[in-house]
Amino acid sequence: MRIAFVMAHEGVEQIELTSPWQALVETGETPQLISTRPGSVQAFHHLDKADTFPVDDTVEGASPEDFDALVLPGGVANPDALRMDRRAVAFVKAFFDARKPVAAICHAPWSLIEAGVVRGRTMTSWPSLRTDLRNAGATWVDERVVVCHEGPSALVTSRKPDDLEFFNDAMLREFGKVAV
């Protein structure tokens, strides 16, 4: 199984990248970091710069057909930049069109709103996205993790870093993965 982590070149909340990544690595997977630019991604710990991570491919160079699932880490700046990049939005939407599972945490649903894939879905997110999600046709709930099968593909959403344990467990189940 090939799993893409899609993010902008900066602004991702580091723990929302590294925790799900490690959970997948522990199942024997080698996730791929796909970004809007080549080189590296600058992660953040809240508003402070954290580590950088090497980009495996760009949304322009990668093909969604080559992947079986998608993870969208949050942070505020990361999904805000992603939703302004038409290639990134098309990359995300392609997973829904192909009925592949997607997992998104914190502010990452902004990218899903821009891709037009939240209508009729039950979701959670960072609380400030509640109105955005409702206006886009989603039902927003305040829960640690929500797994929605109300559309063509499974969608796992979660609120914040404190919920990562629940997010990772649900993501692994929906991706058909277990730790090795």
* Greater pLDDT, 76 or 178: 76
Task: Give the SS3 label for residue 103.
Answer: strand
122 bridge partner residues: 139
The pTM (predicted TM-score) of the whole model is: 0.97
CATH tag, 3-174: 3.40.50.880
Euclidean distance between CA atoms 43 and 36, whole angstroms: 14
For the chain, what is the mean pLDDT?
Answer: 96
pLDDT band for 177, please (50, 70, 90 cuts): confident
Please work out, in degrees rounded to the nearest 5, the angle formed at the alpha carbon of residue 19 by the alpha carbons of 5 and 11.
55
Average pLDDT for 133-149: 98
Question: In the structure encoding, which two tokens stand for residue 122, read together?
Answer: 């039950």
Euclidean distance between CA atoms 72 and 141, whole angstroms: 19
User: Which candidate, 101, 121, 112, places its Cα nearest to that of 175?
Assistant: 101
Look at residue 180 and tell me whether its pLDDT is greater than 60. Answer: no
Q: What is the pLDDT of residues 146-174, one digit of tens each?
A: 999 998 889 999 999 999 999 999 999 99
Domain boundaries, the chain: 3-174
Q: What is the pLDDT of residues 69-107, one digit of tens each?
A: 999 999 999 999 999 999 999 999 999 999 999 999 999
Euclidean distance between CA atoms 36 and 59, whole angstroms: 6
- Give me the active site residues, please: 106-107
